[in-house]
Amino acid sequence: MVMKIGVVGASGYSGGELLRLLLGHPNFSLHYVAAGASAGESITSIHPHLTALSGRKFEETSVAKMNECDLLFFALPHGESQKYVSELQADIRVVDLGADYRLSESSQWEKYYGGSHAGSWVYGAPELPGQRELIKGALRIANPGCYATAINLAIAPAVTSKIIDATDIVVVAASGVTGAGRSAKINLLGAETMNSLTSYKFGGIHQHTPEIEQTLDGLGASGARISFTPILAPMPRGILATVTAKISHSVQLAEVRSMYQDFYSTHGFVTLLPEGELPRTSSTLGSNAVHLQVAIDSHTQRLIVSCALDNLGKGAASAALQNANLISGLKEDLGVPYTGVRA
């Protein structure tokens, strides 16, 4: 069965990556490709690598066109997708790459995003306990944030096994500039970012903070708290997160490694690297892969987890495709790349 697919917000980086992946999907056919501000422009004028779409133009944002689709991806700025959802036919499957339906508490939405809270959908993190089955039974999915994916997958096994103090999780994570979106900003110009690292949203104000804490609470870490410092890295895409937490009781590295391997044994996109190998963003480029490494700092008795992923892949588009497969009754990995394109 071939399904009609719509991508709303297709001119952005995540939207473009979605289009690339969808072009190779055997069961999904691009029926509607919308980009409000770029409507009428050639798709290849913004995504020149998508030559298979030569001659095709971005369409206007139209609920009527959305309702012609079997499945929709929203790749819009935060707060935008909720403007259209209430007008969609109830049986249309939706994966929202924005934050609109990730948070369960309206107070957290208002604090970190502002405006009205749209509610919450099933959280699209199939690697977390119980989530894969919830996703399969849903029609509407909230795709996780890119940083949230890296941090949650890095620390989830330790949280569920209760070997750490989840009220004291410290994260320093660097992301490529595509994580900030495609709109023109002086601080994202090449001349500003090349040969330079800078922190941003400094002091615990990053919008993924409540999403991560909500997820960890759901894993049994009541009162989970993270201190999160994001860093803008001089590269187009990728996330490298270092997550640390105080160990709550004596544990050996071999036990921790075994715990992580067991936790992700049925999740082929997540790999605990062999001892001595460290995650690299270049190794996950263009894929849905997550690479992890664990260590114990015996000096401070803290667990250290390093995680690498592609912010436009597992952090956005390929994760959305993984979720779309699940809600469509297809193989989870259909058209979703396991392997990066590192030279």
Mean pLDDT computed over 44-69: 97
The reported pTM is 0.95
What is the number of alpha carbons within 13 Å of residue 151 lying toward its C-beta?
32
Contact 19, 48 (CB under 8 A): no
pLDDT (tens digit, 9 = 90+) per residue, 147-173? 999 999 999 999 999 999 999 999 999
Residue 86 has pLDDT above 90, yes or no: yes
Residues 171 and 300 both lie in one domain? yes
Count of helices and strands (H, E) across the chain: 11, 13
Rounded distance between C-alpha atoms, residue 229 and residue 248, angstroms: 23
Residue 191 has pLDDT above 70, yes or no: no
Positive/negative CA dihedral, 169, 174, 178, 180 = positive
H helical segments located in the chain? 13-22, 43-46, 63-66, 82-85, 106-112, 131-136, 146-160, 190-193, 209-218, 253-263, 317-327
pLDDT (tens digit, 9 = 90+) per residue, 94-136? 999 999 999 999 999 999 998 889 999 999 999 999 999 999 9
220 vs 244, which has greater pLDDT? 244
Domain count, the chain: 2
Strand partners, 97: none
Residues 134 and 152 both lie in one domain? no
Contact 314, 151 (CB under 8 A): no
Mean pLDDT score across all residues of the chain: 93
Residue 343 domain flag:
no
Residue 37 has pLDDT above 90, yes or no: no
What does the block give as tokens for 301? 């008795």
Residue 334 domain flag:
no
Residue among 91, 71, 89, 88 at smallest CA distance from 25? 71
**Is there a catalytic annotation at residue 146?**
yes
State the pLDDT confidence band at 331, using cuts at 50, 70 and 90: very high
Residue 194 domain flag:
yes
Catalytic residue among 99, 142, 146, 241: 146
Residues 139 and 217 both lie in one domain? no
Rounded distance between C-alpha atoms, residue 306 and residue 340, angstroms: 18
Strands 290-297 and 270-272: parallel
Specify the pLDDT at position 96.
Answer: 98
Contact 73, 124 (CB under 8 A): no
CATH assignment of the domain containing 156: 3.30.360.10
Residue 181 has pLDDT above 80, yes or no: no
Residue 332 domain flag:
no
Mean pLDDT computed over 247-257: 94
Domain carrying residue 31 = 3-143+315-327
DSSP state of 87: T
pLDDT (tens digit, 9 = 90+) per residue, 199-240? 888 888 888 999 999 999 999 888 899 999 999 998 889 999
Residue 257 domain flag:
yes
Specify the pLDDT at position 249.
Answer: 85
CATH assignment of the domain containing 23: 3.40.50.720
Residues 41 and 126 both lie in one domain? yes
Residues 120 and 151 both lie in one domain? no
Rounded distance between C-alpha atoms, residue 188 and residue 38, angstroms: 21
Residue 215 domain flag:
yes
Residues 216 and 261 both lie in one domain? yes
Residues 14 and 40 both lie in one domain? yes
Contact 112, 171 (CB under 8 A): no
Residues 159 and 261 both lie in one domain? yes
State the pLDDT confidence band at 42, using cuts at 50, 70 and 90: very high
What does the block give as tokens for 149? 């994916």
Residue 46 has pLDDT above 70, yes or no: yes
Residue 340 domain flag:
no
Specify the pLDDT at position 36.
Answer: 84
Residues 99 and 230 both lie in one domain? no
Our CA angle for 175, 181, 182, nearest 5°, is 125
Q: How many CB atoms lie within 10 A of CB 235?
A: 17
